A and B are shown apart, each in its own frame.
Chain A
Amino acid sequence: GAVVSQHPSRVICKSGTSVKIECRSLDFQATTMFWYRQFPKQSLMLMATSNEGSKATYEQGVEKDKFLINHASLTLSTLTVTSAHPEDSSFYICSAIINRDGYGYTFGSGTRLTVV
């Protein structure tokens, strides 16, 4: 239980185009979702916190106009990388808080974005 489905798992796009990544909570309602970025051989860095029905809260240094986050329902949050550039190539992971059998987090399987 408490599964977050993330799609696509892998995407290659041309520089200048936009890419949308979706995260769906399958068997629970996710009021809050977190978006992380992970560069090769580095840790996960929190990009933003998205709350259903309100604007996302971005971490310092993350461009909100470039990384558009929409959390329109309790089961879906999306991250759109706009006008992607090669330096945006990274592994993006979403996460949601769960409170079953205790407090914790569940993670999507990640999206590997390559911008060429």
Chain B
Amino acid sequence: AQKVTQAQTEISVVEKEDVTLDCVYETRDTTYYLFWYKQPPSGELVFLIRRNSFDEQNEISGRYSWNFQKSTSSFNFTITASQVVDSAVYFCALSEEENFGNEKLTFGTGTRLTIIP
């Protein structure tokens, strides 16, 4: 069964500091997708990134970067020069290709990030 662990329940950093959110996953499949979503207080989920299991290249998008390491089953997310608008709950999620077209998305427990002005 698939499982996603986000060990950090809450993180607070001062604005402009860098912060890394950890994500560790478990899966028996060789083909899977990993996601990060942001959930601001409004509740809506904001898609941040998707990575498939065959692509271990790290990615950078502005102040956001992701480190995918299959050897440690981790998909960590770093925000550099954090801003108050980054305050939200961040979810890591995993999808396996167990049934084509019916892939379930399993979420981690989320990390509540607070950026202190």
Determine whether the beta carbon of A44 is less than 8 Å from that of B102. no
* B103, A97: Cβ atoms closer than 8 Å: yes
In contact, A49 and B104 (Cβ under 8 angstroms): yes
Q: Is A70 an interface residue (CB 8 A)?
A: no
Size of interface on B: residues with Cβ below 8 Å to A: 22
Contact A110 B44 (CB under 8 A): yes
A91 within 8 A of B: yes
A112→B44 CA distance, assembly (Å): 11
Binary contact track B80-112/A, C-beta < 8 Å → 1, others 0 = 000000000001000100000111111111101
Of A16-24, A76-84, A101-109, which stretch is located at the interface?
A101-109
Tell me if B104 and A109 are in contact (CB < 8 A).
Answer: no
Known: A43-B110, A104-B50. A51 touches B102 (CB 8 A): yes
Residue of A whose beta carbon sits closest to that of B9: A41
Across-interface contacts of A103 in B (CB, < 8 A): 33, 50, 52
Chain A residues closer than 8 Å to B45, beta-carbon distance: 93, 107, 110
In the complex the two chains form, what is the Cα distance from A87 to B47 in whole Å? 29
Check B43 for interface membership: any CB of A closer than 8 A.
Answer: yes
B97 (CB) vs chain A CBs: closest residue: A103
**A74 at interface by CB-CB < 8 Å:** no
Contact residue among B35, B43, B91 (Cβ-Cβ distance under 8 Å from A109): B43
**A49 and B105 in contact, given A43-B110, A109-B44 (Cβ under 8 angstroms):** no
Chain B residues contacting A110 (CB-CB under 8 Å) are 43-45
Given contacts A43-B110, A107-B44, A109-B44, contact A95 B50 (CB under 8 A): no
Q: Given A43-B108, A104-B35, A105-B105, does the pair A91, B43 have CB atoms closer than 8 Å?
A: yes
Q: Which of A44, A45, A109, A112 counts the most B-chain CB atoms under 10 A from its CB? A: A44
Give B17 Cβ to nearest chain A Cβ, in Å. 24
Chain B residues within an 8 Å CB radius of A97:
101, 103
Contact B105 A95 (CB under 8 A): yes
The residues of B with any CB-CB pair to A shorter than 8 Å are: 33, 35, 42-45, 47, 50, 52, 91, 95, 101-110, 112
- State the 7 A-B residue pairs at the shortest beta-carbon distance, nearest first: A107-B45, A110-B43, A43-B109, A109-B44, A44-B107, A43-B107, A104-B50
